[in-house]
Structure 1
């Protein structure tokens, strides 16, 4: 009896044995070459400039403060400021003459410019020294611009040369003073 098989008999097994080999080994990927980083520069870095201030009045934020309303024996007053005791602007109704006085506190000069979503108007002013310095514009209660202030889209602006412009919310207090003067 023969224990050694012939090569012819083993050839199918050798073919199968060759198919059991795993895939060929790939060559390793080359290592990435480090990118040189630039060293410190001798030029100073320019400071970051702040965002530009909006030039259009309706794009600027409103002036900090709130409106207050009060009645007086001669009419009513709507005042705006950081506190009720320190107004920056006031609308005062004089019922006897049906006139509204717009008072911008501070020392300014020239005409008062009022800007609303309807447009801008210039009103002549007078300067008053007592009880505190202020610039006043006096208008008839029937002036259409007063309606434009009351119904401006969200805010309106008051500008007087020599004083910081005020961007004010168009709240009900101003409309109430206008209606008090007309009624």
Structure 2
């Protein structure tokens, strides 16, 4: 045991001396480089029209001397008016803004282009016979109907009962 004691004591002495040694000086390191910014979310180019947000506004219905009308948008300045001309048995779709070309109406069942003409007071208009079956597609579209006019923002309206009521008024002659 006498032989082991000097070995153990010298190991203990070395470990004490090692603990007294000063630490090596720290080397200054460069600040870490910031992480690159997260890439922007990709812009969906194939967005389905049914996923687009609805346009601001509400539908309202009113009986008129010549038939009835459903208005979408603000009460004082509607973006869209669907009006029945009872005498002519026609449905007129009047949009804010003057444009010519085609009004593209898209429903959950089908889409259709209608000739668009500039109307009075800064409006554009397209019309259909009250008996046209496409009006049923507008009335019964699931959730929304879009109205696209060249050079104007897409009008995405909810499929509420007001347009269907105007269509029925015009068909029944009430």
Q: TM-score of the superposition, structure 1-length normalised?
A: 0.72
146-155 or 48-57: which moved more?
48-57
Supply the RMSD in Å over aligned alpha carbons.
2.3
Deviation (angstroms), 1:44: 6.1
Picking from 150, 175, 180, the partner of 2:164 is 175
Give yes or no for contact 2:61–2:70 (8 Å, CA) kept in 1. yes
Corresponding residue for 1:97? Answer: 88
Corresponding residue for 2:130? Answer: 141
Q: Which runs of 5+ in 2 are unaligned?
A: 1-28
Give yes or no for contact 1:118–1:152 (8 Å, CA) kept in 2. yes
Distance change >3 Å, CA 62–CA 53, structure 1 → 2: farther
The number of residue pairs the alignment matches comes to 144
* Larger of the two Rg values belongs to structure: 1
Deviations along 1:2-36, one digit per CA (max 9) or x if unpaired, are xxxxxxxxxxxxxxxxxxxxxxxxxxxxxxxxxx9
Q: Which runs of 5+ in 1 are unaligned?
A: 1-35
Q: TM-score of the superposition, structure 2-length normalised?
A: 0.75
Give yes or no for contact 1:54–1:60 (8 Å, CA) kept in 2. no
Corresponding residue for 2:47? Answer: 55
For the residues of structure 1 that align with 2:98 and 2:64, how far apart are their CA atoms? 26
Are 1:73 and 2:58 counterparts? no
Give yes or no for contact 2:107–2:146 (8 Å, CA) kept in 1. yes
For the residues of structure 2 that align with 1:111 and 1:165, how far apart are their CA atoms? 13
Deviation (angstroms), 1:104: 1.1
For the residues of structure 1 that align with 2:144 and 2:138, how far apart are their CA atoms? 8
